[in-house]
Structure 1
Amino acid sequence: MNATTTEFTIRPAQWSDAPALRDLMEKTFVDTYASYNTPANMQLYTSTRFGLAQVQLELQDENVHYLIVEKQSEFIGFAKLIQNHSAEGLESKKAVEIERIYVEKTYHGQQLGAQLMQACLEWAKESAAEVVWLGVWEHNPKAIRFYEKMGFERFGAHTFTLGTEVQNDFLMKREI
């Protein structure tokens, strides 16, 4: 699946994308959450979750699928989807989790998040999923509004550990 607009392309990640994808993952995560968390917790989380070896391992996993948003060979957004991964309350359904979805801040407001989300939903549908779900930090109202606009609804909560701090995420789902 390749979706192309005038300037942007959304495509599946390849093994050779791992270094640039890793850099984008860390940059967008830090840009989004650094002001809300301690430097030590940010460092602990990014060093364990965004290492090159970790990204390469995920790119080899048949249940993990990355989509990349590109502009003239520059990575500006991505999504990480996990197939056959359920959450409490969705055990009876074939589920896909959107574990991460980010667009660089300089490209916000250009509908790239909506296009990337649509590509995620299309991939999930092609994978025969019945529901797509995600976790979103309870103190991220902009993201919550975006997911609601994209047809997601809250169905629960879970904890998310960032470094040494335990935070609460809302769980949101969308039937396919």
Structure 2
Amino acid sequence: MPMIELSRSDDVATIRDLSIETFTQTFAALNTPEDMDKYVADHLSPDVIRREIDDPDSTFLVATVDGAPAGYMKVNVGDAQTEKMTHGHMEVQRLYLLKAFKRHGLGTGLMRAAFDMARAQGKTRIWLGVWEHNDPAIAFYERFGFTRIGSHDFVLGEDRQTDLLMEAVVPAQE
């Protein structure tokens, strides 16, 4: 049975393993091994994941199926956001699923949880960055009302790429 739960402080290994596996499944075929390795070393090390989990302005949710990790989402508010946004914004920094669990409703469940969290915290907008060439993810976000509001650079290893910035209004009630 699928479940979505808040991560705990002892979930570093689970989140790191999920982060590396999902990121690799999603982007390895489109980037060099050197750039992938550098990104993983710089951004998905145990120390980095520990700091992110311990940051009070960041929250990780882990999706499981029959008790096995299937994906995760990281949301940020305040100073943890990767771009300067207003107090009324929440960022979905990462939303990844293992390939075997895509198109089974887990991504929808995680995104709904993001909207619920934003609403509970009095946020009026959710924003995110998505690689300009990740058409399936862009279409997924558009189904939730996200529209393009700009772009920013995303550096993967030594490769400077462009992420689209997208934003959605948080409805008062679902």
Q: Quote the residue 1:125 is aligned against.
A: 119
Cα deviation, 1:30-89, whole Å, max 9, x if unaligned, reads 00000110000000000111111111111111001001101222111100001123746x
Distance 1:87 1:54, change over 3 A: closer
List runs of 5+ in structure 1 lacking aligned partners. Answer: 1-6
Quick one: which of 146, 150, 161 aligns to 2:155? 161
User: CA-atom RMSD, angstroms?
Assistant: 1.3
In 2, Cα distance between the equivalents of 1:59 and 1:87? 19
Residues 1:82 and 2:43 are matched in the alignment: no
Q: Quote the residue 1:15 is aligned against.
A: 9
SS at match of 2:145: coil
Identity over aligned pairs, percent: 32
In 1, Cα distance between the equivalents of 2:16 and 2:83? 26
Residues 1:32 and 2:26 are matched in the alignment: yes
Distance 1:30 1:118, change over 3 A: same
In 2, Cα distance between the equivalents of 1:49 and 1:86? 13
Q: Which segment is superposed worse, 120-129 or 62-71? A: 120-129
Report how many aligned residue pairs link the two structures: 168
Q: TM-score, normalised by structure 1?
A: 0.91
- The answer on whether the counterparts of 1:41 and 1:163 sit within 8 Å (CA) in structure 2 is yes
- The answer on whether the counterparts of 1:131 and 1:175 sit within 8 Å (CA) in structure 2 is yes
Residues 1:65 and 2:59 are matched in the alignment: yes
List runs of 5+ in structure 2 lacking aligned partners. Answer: none
**What letter corresponds to residue 22 of structure 1 in structure 2?**
R
Q: Quote the residue 1:50 is aligned against.
A: 44
